Structure 1
């Protein structure tokens, strides 16, 4: 186990009713193994249901805190896992969208995978950023002023905050490495 993230706290923001399990657990495990403290945020401090491919119910997780009560100053990085259900529900939750906006305004790094950037689009923070995602978000991202690129894992440090993005579960190894490397530096 590395101690490269010792003393760092990483927030994961998810809806209570559906997150792609691999896109939660792979980055969660990577930052925890590197020594970070992990906090699970959701609209309600209640159970979070994970899924495999948005279809099959997987494990459940307990939210550590309701996002409305969370302070961006308490965290060093925000991770937005995907699946289609998770970001679709989050972008309709005003507390979640506000938290993302405040996190970005504080200049803190954000990592989003698959459909996770939908929440960033809703928060109005992708303008001038270069990012990747699941291909179907390309139009949403470009309409919001971002530049979409097809890539395994991208890091954009422009505009006062760092954005780490990835396309899909097959890219999780590259995504988690970029997260740990970026937060370690």
Structure 2
């Protein structure tokens, strides 16, 4: 279905909700795509199962060494600390925004839309997220909906958002559909 397409997974060095990284990663791989782990530092990133340390994952490239042109889509996993750290790194924010400017699909789950707020790309769109982000998203000009997955084609690209790990099946299906288009 993805037939060799390369999908970037942008994460901070720590604080990633592990299942929100690994489940979409496996979905991309099983669909014939190539997932690549992009971070703000080289080496490994530390994932978490909620507040408990989980596995470490090797970084494929540092965000300042790649371009949205190198990829067919972007996944932003959640975890509270992950997007909170990403939104403070100008290169990560630029990289995220570049996918919107290029009209490429972006999928963000749980707390990940914080990075989208910082990139100023949610205005005029309908999105979902972990409930505590709804005020931030509304203040950034988005319409927030409490649904397991929201696919929004209102801007230059398709934006897929989901609320939490329980929504991963719908999130992965919608993301794969957008990435294959």
**In the aligned structure 2, how far is the partner of 1:79 from the partner of 1:56?**
22
Deviant stretches of 4+, over 4 Å: none
User: TM-score, normalising length from structure 1?
Assistant: 0.96
Query: Alpha carbon RMSD of aligned pairs, Å?
Result: 0.7
**Alpha-carbon distance, 1:184 to partner:** 2.1
Q: Residue 103 of structure 1: which of 99, 120, 128 is its match? A: 99
The equivalent of 1:113 in structure 2 is 109
The equivalent of 1:126 in structure 2 is 122
The secondary structure found in structure 2 opposite 1:13 is strand
The equivalent of 2:6 in structure 1 is 9
The equivalent of 1:57 in structure 2 is 53
**In the aligned structure 2, how far is the partner of 1:182 from the partner of 1:122?**
23
**In the aligned structure 1, how far is the partner of 2:93 from the partner of 2:156?**
19
**Alpha-carbon distance, 1:142 to partner:** 0.4
**In the aligned structure 1, how far is the partner of 2:45 from the partner of 2:8?**
14
The secondary structure found in structure 2 opposite 1:18 is strand
The equivalent of 1:28 in structure 2 is 25
**In the aligned structure 2, how far is the partner of 1:160 from the partner of 1:94?**
22
* 1:42 matched to 2:53: no
Q: Residue 80 of structure 1: which of 67, 71, 76 is its match? A: 76
**In the aligned structure 1, how far is the partner of 2:81 from the partner of 2:31?**
29
User: TM-score, normalising length from structure 2?
Assistant: 0.98
**Alpha-carbon distance, 1:19 to partner:** 0.3
**In the aligned structure 2, how far is the partner of 1:56 from the partner of 1:81?**
17
**In the aligned structure 1, how far is the partner of 2:49 from the partner of 2:100?**
29
- Structure 1 residues not aligned, in runs of 5+: none
**Alpha-carbon distance, 1:42 to partner:** 0.2
The secondary structure found in structure 2 opposite 1:61 is strand
